[in-house]
A and B are shown apart, each in its own frame.
Chain A
Amino acid sequence: DIQMTQSPSVLSASVGDRVTLNCKASQNINKYLNWYQQKLGEAPKLLIYNTNNLQTGIPSRFSGSGSGTDYTLTISSLQPEDVATYFCFQHNSWPTFGSGTKLEIK
């Protein structure tokens, strides 16, 4: 199975900051990489699909990039409502998720 490693595991930033979350695959996943946001007590929500495509209804401050084994999720200006855990997910082969990055406000 493809292993997905997210870093950092916890990120603390201030409102208005530009924030970058990282996800590294154990092998090339051909940009079949999604990002999900999960707020406490809620189901995950799709933010980005296939590396850089913004899901309908998601604010434009979220963006994704990457290729091969390395991918990033960027929030251009952190908002209080962005407090959540973010998971990356690959569907190039048997589906696997990263372990998550917990995003906090300083």
Chain B
Amino acid sequence: EVQLVESGGGLVQPGRSMKLSCAASGFTFSNYGMAWVRQAPTKGLEWVATISYDGSSTYYRDSVKGRFTISRDNAKSTLYLQMNSLRSEDTATYYCTRWGRPFDYWGQGVMVTVSS
């Protein structure tokens, strides 16, 4: 069974950093691209970043480019999102998702609140 389990969220002040992790199991992690998708409270879904199966290629939405870094450790079957210079508009639930069909499996999400 495919499982994606996010961790690392919480309350953070504007301008500070936070790193999210996503532990994957139930499939060959190194065979799949992965992504982060976020959802602000009571809002729709927004793609954030994608990384290729081997980590050689990364893609970001414009609003996070230069502030967020997506990475992966295939030996640990873990996906990461390093978020720097956080803003109030980054407040959202962040979902880890597999780029299968794409976005065929999702984690349960982790809440990130950016507030002073």
Contact = CB atoms under 8 A, between A and B. Distances in A.
- Is chain B found bound to chain A in the same assembly? yes
Interface of A: 34, 36, 42-46, 49-50, 53, 55, 87, 89, 91, 94-100
A103 to B, nearest CB: 15
B47 to A, nearest CB: 4
Contact of B45 (A45, A46, A55, A87): A87
Interface of B: 35, 44-47, 50, 59, 61, 95, 101-109
A50 B103 contact: no
B47 A46 contact: no
6 contacts: A49-B101, A87-B44, A89-B103, A91-B102, A95-B35, A95-B47
Contacts, number: 46
A34 B45 contact: no
Contacts of A55: 101, 104
B108 A43 contact: yes
